[in-house]
Amino acid sequence: MQAATRGVRVPAWVLGLVPLLLIAGGIALFAALDAPGIGERVGPPAEELAIERTVLEPGIIELTVRNDGPDAVSVAQAVVNDAFVQFTGAESPIGRLETATVRIAQPWVEGEAYEVALVTSAGGTIAHEIPVAVETPAPDAGFFGLMALLGIYVGVIPVALGMLWLPWLRRVPPAWLRGLMALTIGLLAFLGVDAAFEGFELAAEGSQAFGGAALVFVGAGVAYLLLSGVSAWLSRRAAKASGSSLALLIAIGIGLHNLGEGVAIGAAYSAGALALGAFLVIGFAIHNTTEGLAIVAPMANERASLRRLAALGVIAGAPAVLGAWIGAGAYNASIAAFLFGFGAGAILQVIVTLLPSVRDDHGRVLHPGAAVGMLSGIAVMFLTGLLVAA
């Protein structure tokens, strides 16, 4: 009798699956009945196009556009500097999130600015500015070799030079070392904020259907969680080598930042918007040399082989090469925004990990020495950043 009165035990996975099946059934029924209760929409369609990429060829302006809105968009006319021009591409309506390539016949002049507008079938206008008209380089082996050299100039070499401060760091008193760790936090804080603002600016230029500015926060959250997992794994694996672990985390965070920086540099170069003069290269070298100091500061009290130091330098600097390739060959504002957010989140996690290393004898993190060090780091990055404004 007890067995008969006892209810049948339903497996937990069935209880979890039933709501999902009901939701799927409701959606299928709603679609099968052709959305009852929702009549035909009145008013003009919502037409939104985002221009994701511009390629300039002799006599041709090529635009890659993506439909950001809910309705299909048809391109009816093209206008360059207030004059209607012939174009090809986008013959059929562009569906939601779909892309199309519009090739505009326009004998442009190198160095001049152009205002391009696409007029939709409903009369909407999508404007796009070309500040400096320069022929887009062909993505051949020589071009990618140049991008690799540029990434080495602005990423690998400056970081390696900054790591040469390690012998000096090993001779400074403990109080000075805490100040240098605070300086490192200031350097990283500036990099993180700078990366976030770069990401927001790029997100505003790209497709909003993929999240816009939210991509920066998503990238930051993903990087923070991933690097937190790496930090926990390193701490569990080699608890005694805390300085080396911190150096590795800093190198990863800086490397992710340099990845986004490389994307921006490559994209600017391919668009002709970056003056690659000797002064600019020197400015990048000075600006990024401080990143090398940030990497070796936690290792001042430890012995490190040249192989380990070289590996840290590659981790921090080499992503600039990869970023330059991505920016020059397959630039996308939404991806770039995500990468900048990724770098900012990684740097934030590194800062959180570094904060205990600046505690004074009273256990305070924000003591006068730490405050001076952090402010000095921010000031150094700000002043050297003025040299690379392009």
- pLDDT tens-digit series, residues 82-100: 889 999 988 889 888 888 9
- What is the 8-class DSSP label of residue 163? G
- Sequence length of the chain is 390
Lowest average pLDDT, out of 24-33, 135-144, 292-301, goes to: 135-144
DSSP 46: -
Q: Which amino acid is at 236?
A: R
Residue 105 has what pLDDT?
Answer: 92
Q: What's the longest Cα–Cα distance across the chain?
A: 94
Place of tokens 């780091």: 377
Residue 14 lies in a domain: no
Final residue in a domain of this structure, among 103, 130, 157:
130
Would you call 329 exposed, middle or buried from its count of C-beta atoms within 10 A (0-12, 13-18, 19+)?
A: middle
- pLDDT category of residue 1 using cuts at 50, 70 and 90: very low
In a domain, 359, yes or no: yes
162 and 111 in a common domain: no
Beta strands in the chain (DSSP E): 49-57, 60-67, 75-80, 83-85, 87-88, 99-105, 114-120, 125-130
Do 193 and 104 share a structural domain?
no
- Cut 0.95: pTM above it: no
Q: State the average pLDDT over residues 163-183.
A: 83
pLDDT tier at 79 (50, 70, 90 boundaries)? very high
The DSSP H or E segment spanning 79 is strand 75-80
Number of domains in the chain: 2
Least confident residue range of 62-66, 136-140, 212-216: 136-140
Write out the residue range of the structural domain in which residue 358 sits.
141-388
Q: Which amino acid is at 143?
A: F
Same domain, 116 and 188: no
